[in-house]
């Protein structure tokens, strides 16, 4: 049987369901399963499951339990190839076989060495009809962090930037000027909640003294690791970030020696040091991104400032750009934005435009 419009509709619903636990499943991707069958002549969703918070159980056994006996002869829609390995849970492909599912429609193939086609092979060997690649591009966009970690051994990087209507990001004297409004602020907090790590340069940490937590109702427990890029270890121990280091983790990527005197003070406050063990000129971004992936993290949101944004762009370490443009202008001695709408490197393509209050949000993806 070929892939139908109905298949794509159920897959779209499964992809939406998978978003429920995005950013909350640890190193496991958040994926979803829908079990659909005909009941009294009409297709009905009889079971649904999304990877549990923390990463286990996987989506499939939950959806199958939900469907019970109705799973027999049904179609399962899975946003990621069902696993084939005995990890902390038995293989999901085996569970689908045991439940007597007749057909499996899948979006993305799992690049995990233990799966990667084996999940499909188990299903087919059991006589289950398998369709793959349905709405794969949509599913892959949501799984971008996981896929990047598995295929390139590094984290996926989103660069977030707010620019004024005349392409500036702030004043030269460092005085804070609002660029975007309240609706955008909430959207930024939602972006944070979807990320495993929020990264800023030490200049921004000193100048703005941000908190970088996620303060949205229901999402407060989803505050990601806060990471400061601080080559020379200039972060003041009195910074708000440091004060909250015992509640939400604060990591510093530094190129200073192990016995640098500032380390002890910050460490006592609960700050953790990552990246370079040896003394270097500066923190190497590719190594840093690999180090984060090796810790099971998948997504980083780079929040500024201009210098940090430029470093990531110059080293081609940005996968996605989220650019907010406010309606106001910053006149006088202003800092030029490294990017603005219409001023984005050719390797990025526009992936969407949305309006948040009075601000515009432009999204770009690396092609």
| Interacting residues with ligand AOF (CB under 6 A) | 28-29, 31, 51, 55-56, 58-60, 80, 82-83, 87-89, 92, 110, 112, 115
Phi, psi (5° rounding) for residue 288? Answer: -60, -45
- List 103's β-bridge partners, or say none: 75, 129
Flag whether 162 is marked binding. Answer: yes
Flag whether 83 is marked binding. Answer: yes
Identify the active-site residue in 60, 81, 131, 325: 60
Q: Which does 51 bind (CB under 5 to 8 A by kind): ligand AOF, Zn ion, none?
A: ligand AOF
Sign of CA pseudo-dihedral 245, 249, 254, 259 = positive
User: CB 243 → ligand AOF: shortest distance, Å?
Assistant: 35
Based on CB atoms, which residue is closest to ligand AOF, 111 or 170?
111
User: CB 44 → ligand AOF: shortest distance, Å?
Assistant: 22
User: CB 295 → ligand AOF: shortest distance, Å?
Assistant: 15
Phi, psi (5° rounding) for residue 5? Answer: -60, -35
Q: Which residue reads 């999402």 in tokens? A: 219
Flag whether 40 is marked binding. Answer: no
Based on CB atoms, which residue is closest to Zn ion, 110 or 303?
110
Based on CB atoms, which residue is closest to ligand AOF, 76 or 289?
76
Show the tokens assigned to 49. Answer: 């499951």
Element (H, E) at 283: none
Flag whether 305 is marked binding. Answer: yes
Q: Which does 299 bind (CB under 5 to 8 A by kind): Zn ion, ligand AOF, none?
A: none
- Residue 104 CA to residue 91 CA, distance in Å, equals 15
Element (H, E) at 292: helix 285-294
Q: Residue 278: helix, strand or coil by DSSP? A: coil
User: CB 84 → ligand AOF: shortest distance, Å?
Assistant: 8
Residue 341 contacts by C-beta under 8 Å, 6 or more apart in sequence? 163, 323, 325, 360, 362
Of how many residues is the chain composed?
Answer: 367
Please say if 60 is a catalytic residue: yes
**Contact yes or no for 226/193 (Cβ under 8 A):** no
Measured over all CA atoms, what is the biggest interatomic distance in the chain, rounded to whole angstroms?
A: 73
Give the residue, chosen from 37, 58, 118, 149, that forms a contact with Zn ion under the rule CB under 5 A. Answer: 58
Flag whether 184 is marked binding. Answer: no
Binders in 142-171 for Zn ion, by CB under 5 A: none
User: CB 140 → Zn ion: shortest distance, Å?
Assistant: 18
Instruction: List the catalytic residues.
Output: 60
Task: Extract the annotated binding site for NADP(+).
Answer: 162, 204, 208, 231, 305-311
Binding stretches for Zn ion (CB under 5 A):
58, 83, 92
């Amino acid at each position: 049987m070929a892939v139908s419009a109905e298949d794509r509709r159920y897959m779209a619903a499964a992809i939406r369901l998978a978003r429920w636990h995005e950013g909350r499943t640890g190193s496991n991707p958040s994926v979803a399963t829908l079990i659909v069958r005909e009941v009294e002549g009409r297709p009905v969703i009889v079971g649904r499951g999304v990877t549990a918070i923390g990463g286990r159980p996987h989506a499939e056994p939950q959806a199958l339990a939900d469907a019970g006996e109705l799973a027999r002869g049904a179609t399962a829609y899975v946003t990621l190839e069902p696993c084939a390995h005995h990890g902390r849970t038995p293989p999901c492909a085996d569970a689908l076989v045991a439940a007597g599912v007749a057909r499996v429609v899948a979006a993305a193939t799992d690049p995990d060495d233990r799966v990667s086609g084996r999940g499909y092979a188990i299903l087919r060997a059991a006589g289950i009809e398998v369709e793959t690649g349905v709405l794969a591009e949509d599913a892959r966009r949501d799984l971008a962090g996981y896929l990047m970690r598995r295929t390139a051994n590094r984290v996926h990087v989103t660069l977030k930037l707010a620019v004024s209507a005349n392409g500036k990001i702030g004043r030269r004297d460092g005085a804070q000027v609002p660029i975007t409004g309240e609706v955008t602020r909430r959207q930024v907090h939602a972006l944070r909640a979807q990320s495993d790590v929020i990264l800023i340069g030490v200049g921004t940490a000193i100048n703005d003294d941000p908190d970088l937590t996620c303060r949205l109702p229901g999402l407060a427990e989803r505050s990601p690791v806060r990471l400061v890029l601080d080559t020379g270890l200039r972060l003041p121990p009195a910074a708000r970030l440091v004060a909250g280091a015992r509640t939400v983790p604060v990591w510093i990527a530094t190129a200073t020696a192990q016995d640098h005197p500032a380390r002890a003070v910050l460490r006592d406050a609960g700050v953790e040091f990552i990246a370079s063990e040896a003394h270097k000129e500066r923190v190497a971004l590719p190594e840093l991104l690999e180090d984060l992936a090796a810790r099971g993290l998948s997504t980083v949101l780079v929040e500024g400032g201009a210098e940090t944004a430029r470093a990531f762009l110059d080293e081609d370490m940005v996968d996605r750009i989220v650019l907010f443009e406010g309606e106001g202008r910053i006149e006088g001695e202003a800092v030029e934005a490294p990017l603005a709408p219409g001023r984005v490197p050719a390797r990025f393509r526009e992936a969407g435009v949305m309006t948040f209050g009075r601000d515009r949000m432009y999204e770009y993806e690396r092609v």
